[in-house]
Chain A
């Protein structure tokens, strides 16, 4: 029976041409894939392109960031003040809890789900390399944070124009504020993504990010208070190196003419400020390095 069919096979077997064609359109390439990943991650950080429920939290936090700026501007315009009641550089410091919560909620959604559902290998089946994935995710997170922190500054700046304040002075301070929040976005985005990329579980990622930011800030400000109370003023400016928020505070105090949040105006001068800046840059580079290491072998 079996020999029978094998003999009959050459006669009955046909290969039909059913019209499959190979793709001969344009290949958009690596840069395009990287750009798409960046814009998709950036939109995702504000819930755009995702379900209505996931838009609520980021949009709410964005509103919470902007409302105080609107109130300050409204008061300044109505009462015809000659300067705003808050410095551009101080704004992010006052609302740091909001920034941390935003980062904690959005950094894990950016990377944890790719890890949990093992979609990372699918990304790498496209013409992108590890460095493209990391750069796109890092860039998107930093940009999302920059949008979050720079928008209220823009509102303040426009408001100061409406209130007919000195254009040159306000613009200079606005520029300093933008530099400060750009540094902050890079630093926070990097640390947040590193914490989030460590776990495929979204909930634990959120907890890890918030724990790192809140606890380090709480611990550093407690220690600063103690150092101040026990008259160890020399220690205060070095303690600031141990939490992300006080790092940014130190850099902008030293170089961007910002009033310090350290106790008794004990912020670092230019010399120590260089150390602060170096630590910030090292942390940004370090989180990039850790992310690159993290994605060397993933999900397979």
Chain B
């Protein structure tokens, strides 16, 4: 199911040259903000939870997910070079699975690790806040990667659609309409974070069993559908 050559090519496409700069921009910003907050404010568990929840999990993880998830396959489909990969005797689901693993790894490294460091800067992991949000970021990375990888195979505007989902649906509708929160990867991941801290600092709208089932279901379904989509891929001409 895992093809090292495809993985190596995908790593190169994602992290090659200047592209990695975008990926370093966000974690750098998070660490900067955490340091500033600690400097201004001192250690405070509630503030730490707010910064990690509001900036790290709500903004940074989805954005990194969009960049890594769609970036793993989108540009190749976009410029047509995917045909060279598809013409090799490698199963399409294998390609998707390999690219998913790479996307997950990149998203985890660039989102969960900075979240953990930021948590330690903010309040030295008081009340397990840092660990809780790191767990949430890890789990969210998997589902976001699968979701956005699927988007990359479905549409040419994958990045825009992914951003609209991440910024408009999760941030805007999630705060306005209660029902939208049930259908949000962020809330599912928060359900796990809630379990880790165990008191009122982190709250989720979704119960843990529901959240875990939805997380797994969405990841598996998205991966399967992306593999299916790649089997019947039509290369569109340039607009």
Contact = CB atoms under 8 A, between A and B. Distances in A.
Interface of A: 50-51, 53-54, 57, 97, 101, 104-105, 113, 116-117, 198-199, 201-204, 206-208, 210-211, 214-215, 218-219, 222-223, 226-227, 229-230, 232
B40 A211 contact: no
Contact of B239 (A54, A104, A117): A54
B37 A198 contact: no
A117 B78 CA distance: 12
A104 B160 contact: yes
Interface in B1-59: 18-19, 22, 25-26, 29, 32-33, 36-37, 40-41, 47, 51, 54-55, 59
Contact of A203 (B47, B55, B74): B74
B142 to A, nearest CB: 20
Counting chain B residues whose Cβ lies within 8 A of the other chain, the interface size class is 35 or more
B157 A57 contact: yes
A223 B33 CA distance: 7
A97 B168 contact: yes
A223 B50 CA distance: 12
A116 to B, nearest CB: 7
A104 B160 CA distance: 8
A230 B172 CA distance: 27
B163 interface: yes
A118 B188 CA distance: 45
B75 A204 contact: yes
- For chain B, what secondary structure do more than half of its interface residues adopt (helix, strand, loop), or is it mixed? helix
B41 A211 contact: no
Interface in B114-135: none
B158 A203 contact: yes
B215 interface: no
Contact of B22 (A208, A223, A232): A208
Contact of B70 (A54, A203, A222, A230): A203
A222 B54 contact: yes
A210 B163 contact: yes
Given A53-B239, A219-B33, A227-B40, 15 more contacts: A57-B157, A57-B160, A97-B172, A101-B163, A105-B160, A201-B79, A204-B22, A206-B160, A207-B66, A207-B163, A210-B163, A211-B67, A219-B55, A226-B47, A232-B40
16 contacts: A97-B172, A199-B18, A201-B75, A203-B75, A207-B22, A207-B66, A207-B71, A207-B159, A214-B167, A215-B63, A218-B55, A219-B29, A219-B33, A222-B51, A222-B54, A226-B40
B79 A116 contact: yes
Nearest to A47: B239
A124 to B, nearest CB: 21
Contacts of A117: 238
A204 B66 CA distance: 10
A203 B158 CA distance: 8
A51 B236 CA distance: 12
B134 to A, nearest CB: 20
Contact of B40 (A204, A218, A230): A230
A218 B62 CA distance: 14
Contacts of A222: 33, 51, 54-55
Contact of B67 (A105, A207, A227, A232): A207
B233 interface: no
Nearest to B158: A203
Contacts of B19: 199, 204
A214 B157 CA distance: 18
Contacts of B70: 203, 207
Given A211-B26, A218-B59, A226-B36, A204 B163 contact: no
A115 to B, nearest CB: 12
B164 interface: yes
Contacts of B33: 219, 222-223
Given A201-B78, A203-B158, A218-B55, A223 B36 contact: yes
Contacts of A226: 36-37, 40-41, 47
A154 B75 CA distance: 39
A207 to B, nearest CB: 5
- 3 tightest A-B CB contacts, nearest first: A206-B159, A51-B239, A203-B74
